[in-house]
């Protein structure tokens, strides 16, 4: 075991922790983003829902908004429930979550529903489940468990590289077969963050970077849709009516917003010009309607949420809590950065949603569940008091400071 873990266990003889309240700033920032996100789904989606070219909404202009609102309310309940679960239980079931994610990713290849250039969803009772979202949190929880288990051995190849590379390899191969390149990128990046803060040697990251680079070169060469998106990224106006159409319409939307925007609900690009206007490209509609100032304020709120998440991680009670909180916060930051980068054509177009904003039930539930895990970490921060070494029986029954097994 690591020295830090032994220190925590020794310290637990003199300290008792009673779980406190959740971190209010993180909770309020999450609810604020969720509320604005639901409103923006209504504004961005009512035109496409009304015209119903996909034969899904029945002409109901509030179809996407109503469903997103229901998922948001259920997601808040999931977040609050997750905030009450001790981190020790997340550690205990982390490998089960990872295993379930792998099984679901494999099931997508057999019974999955096609769309967006790939097969990425499983339909259950009219609800689409995206296993890649479960895989993200599965990687974070399982990596944190294994890092704590291996401790000082993380500097070796056998314990600090091999098992983690095997996990990422299986998941990335399954995502490659869908194909879902954007989810692969995010999971690899989050895994790298977890290994870096977990103590893996920097030398292994250099080799891993070369391997990942080779993998994506193969993906670009083999997958036609990937090569087309690279071409559209390099010169979107070279074929504005076909491969470059989506990014060109996104840039039109962002440019039309100017400084203060056209006004909430006043977007023009959402009238069947910009595809995925209420999903992956909702930030473009935000920029068009709220302008540079409004979009900047939303990004500022995201930045505050990320900073607060890292603050909670730095003040967490043990190593496992620190790793999980850092992993989830990094996942949130990566998704926001990459989504905005796609909408502004800084990176090639990929299917990356904007957390708490993009339409999608399973993704929203998982994201709010992840926020609940961070809130669970925050509940163990403030209430710490010293007690005598010889504690009465009533005190011994309380939760003590220890590393989740």
DSSP 365-382: HHHHHHHHHHHHHHTTSS
What is the structure's pLDDT at 354? 95
What is the structure's pLDDT at 200? 84
E strands in 109-234:
113-115, 118-124, 127-129
- Going from the first residue of the chain to its last (405 residues), give the mean pLDDT of each consecutive group of 10, the final group possibly shorter: 45 54 96 97 95 88 95 96 94 94 91 70 76 94 95 88 92 86 89 90 74 66 65 80 88 95 95 93 97 97 98 94 97 96 89 92 94 96 50 47 45
What is the structure's pLDDT at 115? 65
Where b means 16+ CB within 10 Å and e means fewer, 367-397 reads bbbbbbbbbbbbbbbeeeeeeeeeeeeeeee
What is the structure's pLDDT at 237? 85
Return the ∠ at Cα 171 (arms to 151 and 335), rounded to 5°.
85
In the chain, what are the domain boundaries? Answer: 19-382
What is the structure's pLDDT at 387? 40
Classify residue 197 as exposed, middle or buried by CB count within 10 Å of its CB (0-12, 13-18, 19+). middle
Q: What are phi and psi of 235, to 5 degrees?
A: -150, 75
pLDDT tens for residues 103-148?
Answer: 999 998 888 776 666 677 787 766 778 899 999 999 999 999 999 9
| Cβ 4 vs Cβ 349: under 8 Å | no
The DSSP result for 284-298, as a single string, is HHHHHHHHHHHHHHH
Give the closest residue to 332 by CA, choosing from 181, 143, 190. 190
Say which DSSP state 353 is in. Answer: P
pTM of the shown model = 0.86
């Amino acid at each position: 075991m690591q020295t830090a873990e032994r220190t925590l266990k020794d310290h637990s003889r003199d300290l008792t922790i009673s779980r406190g309240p959740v971190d209010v700033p993180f909770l309020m920032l999450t609810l604020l983003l969720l509320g604005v996100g639901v409103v923006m789904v209504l504004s961005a989606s009512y035109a496409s829902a009304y015209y119903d070219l996909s034969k899904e909404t029945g002409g109901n202009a509030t179809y996407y908004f109503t469903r997103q609102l229901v998922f948001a309310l259920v997601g808040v309940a999931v977040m609050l429930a997750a905030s009450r679960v001790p981190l020790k239980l997340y550690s205990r079931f982390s490998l089960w979550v990872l295993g379930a994610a792998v099984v679901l990713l494999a099931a997508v290849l057999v019974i999955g529903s096609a769309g967006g250039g790939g097969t990425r969803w499983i339909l259950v009772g009219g609800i689409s489940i995206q296993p890649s979202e479960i895989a993200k949190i599965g990687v974070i929880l399982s990596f944190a468990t294994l890092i704590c288990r291996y401790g000082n051995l993380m500097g070796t190849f056998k314990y600090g590289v091999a098992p983690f590379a095997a996990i990422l390899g299986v998941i990335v191969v399954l995502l490659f077969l869908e194909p879902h390149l954007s989810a692969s990128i995010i999971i690899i990046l989050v895994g790298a963050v977890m290994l870096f803060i977990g103590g893996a040697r920097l030398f292994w990251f250099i080799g891993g970077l070369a391997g990942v680079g080779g993998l994506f070169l193969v993906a670009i060469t083999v997958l036609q849709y990937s090569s087309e998106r690279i071409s559209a990224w390099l010169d979107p106006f070279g074929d504005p009516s076909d491969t470059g159409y989506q990014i060109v319409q996104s840039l039109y939307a962002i440019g039309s917003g100017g400084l203060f925007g056209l006004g909430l609900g006043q977007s023009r690009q959402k009238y069947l010009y910009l595809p995925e206007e209420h999903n992956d490209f909702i930030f473009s509609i935000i920029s068009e309607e709220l302008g540079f100032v409004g979009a900047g304020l939303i990004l500022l709120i995201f930045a505050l949420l990320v900073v607060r998440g890292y603050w909670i991680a730095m003040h967490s009670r043990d190593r496992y809590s620190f790793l999980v909180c850092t992993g989830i916060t990094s996942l949130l930051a990566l998704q926001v950065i990459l989504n905005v980068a796609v909408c502004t054509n800084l990176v090639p177009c990929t299917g990356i949603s904007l957390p708490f904003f993009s339409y999608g039930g399973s993704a929203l539930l998982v994201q709010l569940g992840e926020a609940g895990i961070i809130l669970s970490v925050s509940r163990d921060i403030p209430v710490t008091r010293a007690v005598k070494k010889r504690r009465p029986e009533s005190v011994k029954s309380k939760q003590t400071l220890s590393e989740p097994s």
